[in-house]
């Protein structure tokens, strides 16, 4: 199901048919380094992640991380959407892209559209984002799409994260 479209992209709900894509994305170097290893070691693990994380979020919250698809050839290239974390008062935007599609502005385009969707369609007045203090690419993207850094936080002993936000 298509959630929204931009000039070059479609954002749509992930389905169980996305196992290979999810397996590849969640095992990409940047996902492992900046988001964390989710233990996706097989297509069955990828299917379980789709069911227990992505589809569960759509059902529980009415939103989640959506598959980012290139309109030109229907290739899935990343994820972008909202997460509702127990320790945050507002939804936060998250995104990831396959390495070969980095540097073309796709995630920036998807994230801008997702912020607008969150505000106008989902009624979010505040949207947060969390990124690692060493993830300068993500920090730059968040600032580019209008979020402002709020503070440095350690949500877990292992984490060293920055919180960003935008208010509407």
CB atoms closer than 10 angstroms to residue 124: 20
The CATH number, out of the four listed (3.40.630.30, 3.30.300.30, 3.60.15.10, 3.40.50.12780), of the domain defined by the range 2-167: 3.40.630.30
Binned at pLDDT 50, 70 and 90, residue 161 comes out as confident
| Two tokens, residue 77 | 């290239």
User: How large is the C-alpha radius of gyration of the chain?
Assistant: 15
Q: What is the DSSP letter of 134?
A: T
Mean pLDDT, range 9-18, rounded to an integer:
98
* Mean pLDDT of all residues belonging to the chain: 94
pLDDT digits (tens, 9 = 90+) for 92-147: 999 999 999 999 999 999 999 999 999 999 999 999 999 988 899 999 999 999 99
């Amino acid at each position: 199901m298509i959630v929204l479209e931009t000039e070059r992209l479609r954002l749509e709900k992930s389905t169980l048919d996305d196992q290979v894509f999810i397996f590849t994305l969640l095992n990409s170097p940047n996902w492992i380094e900046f988001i964390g290893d989710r233990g996706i070691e097989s297509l069955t693990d990828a299917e379980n992640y789709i069911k227990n994380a992505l589809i569960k979020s759509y059902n529980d919250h009415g939103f989640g991380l959506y598959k980012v698809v290139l309109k030109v050839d229907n290739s899935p290239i990343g994820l972008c959407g909202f997460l509702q974390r127990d320790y945050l008062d507002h939804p936060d935007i998250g995104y990831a892209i396959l390495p070969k599609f980095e540097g073309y502005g796709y995630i920036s385009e998807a994230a801008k559209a997702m912020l607008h969707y969150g505000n106008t369609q989902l009624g979010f007045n505040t949207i947060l984002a969390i990124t690692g203090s060493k993830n300068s690419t993500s920090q730059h993207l968040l600032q580019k799409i209008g979020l402002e850094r709020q503070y440095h936080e350690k949500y877990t002993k292992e984490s060293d994260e920055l919180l960003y936000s935008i208010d509407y």
